[in-house]
Amino acid sequence: MFPERLRALRKGQKITLKELATHLNENLGPNEKPNTASQIGNWERGIRTPSYVEARKLAEFFDVSLDYLTGKTDRDDFDLAKLFFSSKNLSFNQTVLSSDDRYEIFQLIDGYLKGRHNRRDTDTFYGKQEQLDLKLK
Q: Report pLDDT digits (tens) over 91-118.
A: 888 888 888 888 888 888 888 888 877 7
| Percentage of residues of the chain with pLDDT beyond 90 | 34
- Is it the case that residue 131 has pLDDT exceeding 80? no
Domain ranges, residue 102? 80-127
Last residue of a domain, one of 44, 70, 96: 70
Last residue of a domain, one of 70, 89, 108: 70
Please indicate, yes or no, whether residues 116 and 94 belong to a single structural domain of this protein.
yes
Q: Is 75 within the bounds of a domain?
A: no
Tally of residues, the chain: 137
Buried b (16+ CB within 10 A) or exposed e, 89-118: eeeeeeeeeeeeeeeeeeeeeeeeeeeeee
Please indicate, yes or no, whether residues 19 and 53 belong to a single structural domain of this protein.
yes
Q: Please indicate, yes or no, whether the overall pTM of this predicted structure exceeds 0.75.
A: no
Q: Is 47 within the bounds of a domain?
A: yes
pLDDT (tens digit, 9 = 90+) per residue, 77-92? 667 777 777 777 888 8
Please indicate, yes or no, whether residues 66 and 84 belong to a single structural domain of this protein.
no
